[in-house]
Amino acid sequence: GLLSVRDSDFVDNQAANQGAAIRSTAITTLIERSSLRENASPSGGAALSVSNATDVTVLTSTFHRNTAGSRADSVAVVGVRASTIAGQIQQGLQVLSGAVIPTVSVRATVFAANADHCQFIGGFGANSMAWNHVDVADALCAPAASNSSVGPALLAPEARRDDDGTSWHRVPLTGSPLI
Would you state the pLDDT for residue 144?
Answer: 77
- The pLDDT of residue 142 is 84
d(CA 169, CA 167): 7
The answer to whether residue 109 scores a pLDDT higher than 80 is yes
Tens of pLDDT, residues 25-62: 999 999 999 999 999 998 778 999 999 999 999 999 99
User: pLDDT value at position 168?
Assistant: 86
Q: What pLDDT, on a 0 to 100 scale, did the predictor assign at position 105?
A: 93
CB burial class (10 A; 0-12, 13-18, 19+) of residue 2? exposed
pTM of the model as a whole: 0.93
166 pLDDT more than 90? no
Q: How confident is the model at residue 53, as a pLDDT?
A: 93
Alpha-helical segments (H) within the chain:
none
Q: What is the pLDDT of residue 3?
A: 97
Is the pLDDT assigned to residue 100 strictly greater than 90? no
| pLDDT of 125 higher than 80 | no
The number of residues making up the chain comes to: 179
